[in-house]
Amino acid sequence: MAFILLCGLALLLVVGLLGQPYWLRYRRNRVRATAFPAAWRKILQRRVPLVRRLPAHLQMQLKKNMQVFIAEKSFLGCAGLRITEEMRVVIAAQACLLILNRATDYFANVRQVLVYPGAFFVNRTSMDGSGVQQENRQALAGESWSQGQVILSWQDTMEGAAVPDDGRNVVIHEFAHQLDQENGAARGAPPPTLGDTQYDARRWSQVFNAAYAHLQLEVHNGVQGLINHYGAQDPAEFFAVVSEVFFEQPRELAVEYPALYRELSAYYKVDPAGW
């Protein structure tokens, strides 16, 4: 009797696991089938002007992606901040720019979005020139964790959304890190989407490394070009920084770094220079 019971429980477990993808698709389709709230539309018009640049079909796609994102992610206020509908909509709009036209699981690794009122402080350990460890306290606008959290400053999130053409956007930056982390530690080589035939890892590496080396040379020579010097820290930061530029200053990037722009356009499946 106990053996039969165990077999029955095992069968139920297998059926549940096999049925999970179906129910996930079903739930998401139901969310996407609902009308986009009028209040959310007003928030986009007021707070996220970049959305107005998108062609109509991409605006519609973005809104559907936002609905799923908001339904599935937990938003937590930190340091006394109370999460509002506006916060969810503004963050989701900018994050979902990165998954337009792509086979997506809606940042499956992200479970929580933690939001601080402004810059938040973290302790970092670094090594000085003599090999002595030092504790440093840093103020950050955002951070991406591989454990399933994205941390954002609401003030910086609003400022990044309000000025859509300065190449600085903390939400795009941190969620680009999440894409980069989908196959392990962030290293500036995000995995392609399933069935992607345009992505060539060798070509990506050649173009990416050449652009990264150019930025490092600019930093060494004290030249501030199109790409923020913050991207010269390591390949992961470079990918996140150029993702910001790609969506906010696409024409400039296409002129100064045409090969890099083509790679990013192939990866993100959009051509913002044409919006």
Locus of tokens 């002129």 = 255
pLDDT of residue 125: 66
Tokens found for residue 157? 């999130």
C-alpha to C-alpha distance for 9 and 171, rounded to whole angstroms: 43
Q: pLDDT tens for residues 169-184?
A: 999 999 999 999 998 8
Q: How far, in Å, CA of 226 to CA of 181, rounded?
A: 25
Q: How far is CA 39 from CA 59, 85, 93, in A?
A: 16, 9, 14
When pLDDT is averaged across residues 1-23 and rounded to a whole number, the result is: 53
- The sign of the torsion formed by the CA atoms of 232, 235, 241, 242 equals positive
Q: Give the global pTM.
A: 0.88
> For the residues of 235-273, what is the DSSP string, one character each?
HHHHHHHHHHHHHHSHHHHHHH-HHHHHHHHHHHT--GG
| Structure confidence by residue, pLDDT tens digits, 102-133 | 988 999 999 999 999 999 988 766 666 666 66
In eight-state DSSP terms, residue 198 is S
CB count within 10 Å of CB 247 equals: 25
Q: For the residues 213-242, what does the mean pLDDT come to?
A: 97
pLDDT of residue 205 exceeding 80, the answer is: yes
36-84 pLDDT tens trace? 999 999 999 999 999 999 999 999 999 999 999 999 999 999 999 999 9
